[in-house]
Structure 1
Amino acid sequence: MFLNDRFHDKGFRSAILNIVKSACTAMHGYNHVLCKGNDVVITDGDYGQVNKEPSVKTGITFNEVKSLLAEGSPETSLMTLPQYWKVYRECLELNDSVTLKGLRDSDHVELLDTLFYYCSSVKHGNQKQPTQQSILMARPSLIRPDDINMKTGLPDRLTSPDNYGDTELWRYWSPDREENVATRGSHLRHGPAMY
């Protein structure tokens, strides 16, 4: 990784290295990942033979991802859905276009620390128990950031998916399984999305 050595990071560099190392360890196994300075190196190794059950599993749960991150760096955390929208609105108010672009248009998927259970209850962060929430169902729909309830992080109103050309609209899919993790993603051609 290329990190600015002149930037006083207050732990940012360490947190990023721990996140990358944890992700690589989950994908490739503990014995295949080394951390040297700013490098996270994945070493060669025997990953098994064709037609054999792989020794490394990549289908880890959300709670396992959280514990892997916390294990390497206790100050590393994920934003909840309400926290995400709070940061987004603060950036709008401050005209912080650089952070807004990262929050809105980056071409990757971000996990948020919000879990949905049975499409009817929500657990944010370290809440002990999920709370019943009214979740608008959509597969898909569009939402406006202004229509987000800041307490729940969920939209209060949906917009028809056949609206085209409005760059302020986000794609939105409601939860559809027994357990879902809130995610924020984007495809630059189609714009930002919440899942």
Structure 2
Amino acid sequence: MAGGLVKYRHLSRDSAHRQALLRNLVTSLVKHESIHTTWPKAKEAQRLAEKLITLAKRNNETSRRRATGILYTPHDLLPKLFGELRKRYLERPGGYTRVLRTEPKSTYDQGASAILEFVDGPKDLRFAMTAAAVARDRALGRKSNELTLKNRSKVLRYRDNGEKAFDDMVKRIGKLDLAGVNKGGADKSGEAVA
């Protein structure tokens, strides 16, 4: 039967190989909080990572055993999972990970590529990009547009000390002078800007 319903991506692997691949991706995600892989692998690993955070939020013996069965190095990563990550997502009702499409990793195969990351973490790309947009708007002396304000409210909604962290990031990016405008009205080469 062609075109039937597929409940999950098979990733051109048999069951054991696919399960090992997903466990490896999720273990790397918990360890590094951001991984770069192909888009289909990222979407499948996202499902398993969401379940893992849900287990961490339950924080009982059964959930610890199930998490131990998913992670490859549980003795190293269980304290982080049931400590830092559990505390970070305790108030969040869902959506602990984000998949961002990127340029293909290889110039030869041109396969769809993506970044899988935990939201509200130190490597949160949307947080950094929103802070960069606000810093650029401030450097150019204009108001932030509607989309930037919406993204700002999204990245700060569940983050502890979000306003302070966001303002610090905006100040750091503002010092980098990414907009090409500094306080003297000159560009990076020192020539006056018209």
TM-score, scaled relative to structure 1: 0.25
Looking at secondary structure, tell me which structure has more helix per residue: 2
| Bigger proportion of residues as strand | 1
> TM-score, with normalisation over the residues of structure 2?
0.25
**Which has the larger Rg?**
2
